[in-house]
Amino acid sequence: MSLPRAKLVKNFPGCPVEATLSYLDGKWKGVILFHLMEGTLRFNELRRKLPAVTQRMLTKQLRELEEAGLLSRAVFPVVPPRVEYAMTPLGMTLKPVIRALAAWGDDYVFCSPEGRELRMASDGLCAPVATLQT
């Protein structure tokens, strides 16, 4: 059994956690949904919000989210082209999930140029700010 997570879900139908994760899987889906929570965005607007994504990857992730029914793609037949991405009503239902993910990330994940680290808020909440480089 050598299947990608999305196709494997049927093999653990008892786990709604994995079922949900399978839709958020893909490197940029989280950020994309995060940004679209605040409203419609055009392709290049999204691109500018994601520092390092390539066109290919952004297109791919957007298509997958669209295919799942989580967001809509509206093409305006003008030139230069105008394509708008927005959350569908189904996508909106993900907002509490995204917010839970964001809240936890804000509280416990600490990113630095060297990588990321997990820490309880109590592990020295008072000091570390002073140790940041100016």
Site residues for DNA, 20-79, by CB under 7 A, read 25-27, 42-45, 52-57, 59, 62-63, 73, 75, 79
Structural contact between residues 49 and 31, judged by C-beta atoms closer than 8 angstroms? yes
Q: Which long-range contacts (CB under 8 A, 24 or more apart) does 42-50 make?
A: 42/82, 42/83, 42/84, 42/85, 43/83, 43/85, 46/85
Least distance between DNA and beta carbon 86 (Å): 12
Determine the Cα–Cα distance for residues 100 and 71; give it in Å rounded to an integer. Answer: 20
Nearer to its own copies, 52 or 78 (CB): 52
Nearer to DNA, 59 or 93 (CB): 59
Q: Which does 128 bind (CB under 5 to 8 A by kind): its own copies, DNA, none?
A: none
Residue 65, classified by CB atoms within 10 Å of its CB into exposed (0-12), middle (13-18) or buried (19+), is buried
Nearer to its own copies, 77 or 101 (CB): 101
**Contact positions vs DNA (CB under 7 A):** 1-8, 25-27, 42-45, 52-57, 59, 62-63, 73, 75, 79-83
